[in-house]
Amino acid sequence: MTNIRLGSISLDCADPKALASFWADLLGGTIVYTSDDFVAVQLDGVWISTVRVDDYQPPDWPNGSPPKQIHFDLAVDDLGASELEALMLGAVKAQDQPEPDRWRVLFDPAGHPFCLTNQIPD
């Protein structure tokens, strides 16, 4: 069997540098490559890359158009403290919070939804 592993997750956006800075700060990553159209953030064993897309339109969660195509579930120990940190870094809290005791739905600066959750084991 071959050794296949996840190497990178790419996020479309209008401003790759700003979005990469958000994710690097939130997840403790390091920006390892920067151009006008592409920025790579190194995390433990994986990159998050941000890619400029002309006329980028953020997803309209939960039921809009364009629809959500991907989201991250980020495991946290303290939902409240993690939410405050994400908000201070530029995230926006979604109005719709289906299960706020287990999941907090936020949007990154480019409008991609992501969840903070205490429901994923270490």
pLDDT digits 0-9 by tens, 17-28: 999 999 999 999
| CB 48, CB 42: distance < 8 Å | no
Radius of gyration, alpha carbons of the chain: 15
Please report the pLDDT score of residue 73 as a whole number: 92
Please report the pLDDT score of residue 6 as a whole number: 79
Q: In this structure, are 36 and 83 located in the same domain?
A: no
Q: For residue 54, which phi and psi values (nearest 5 degrees)?
A: -60, 140
Query: What is the CA 99 to chain-centroid distance, rounded?
Result: 19
CA distance 59 to 12: 11
Evaluate if residue 65 carries a pLDDT over 90: no
pLDDT digits 0-9 by tens, 19-62: 999 999 999 999 999 999 999 999 999 999 999 999 999 998 88
- Residue 112's closest CA among 79, 75, 43, 66? 66
Q: In this structure, are 62 and 119 located in the same domain?
A: yes
Tell me the residue range of the domain where 94 lies: 57-122
pTM as predicted: 0.87
What mean pLDDT comes out for the span 108-114? 95
Percent of the chain exceeding pLDDT 70 equals: 97
In-domain check, residue 1: no
Q: In this structure, are 45 and 84 located in the same domain?
A: no
Q: What is the CATH number of the domain that holds 61?
A: 3.10.180.10
CA distance 22 to 29: 10
| CB 95, CB 52: distance < 8 Å | no
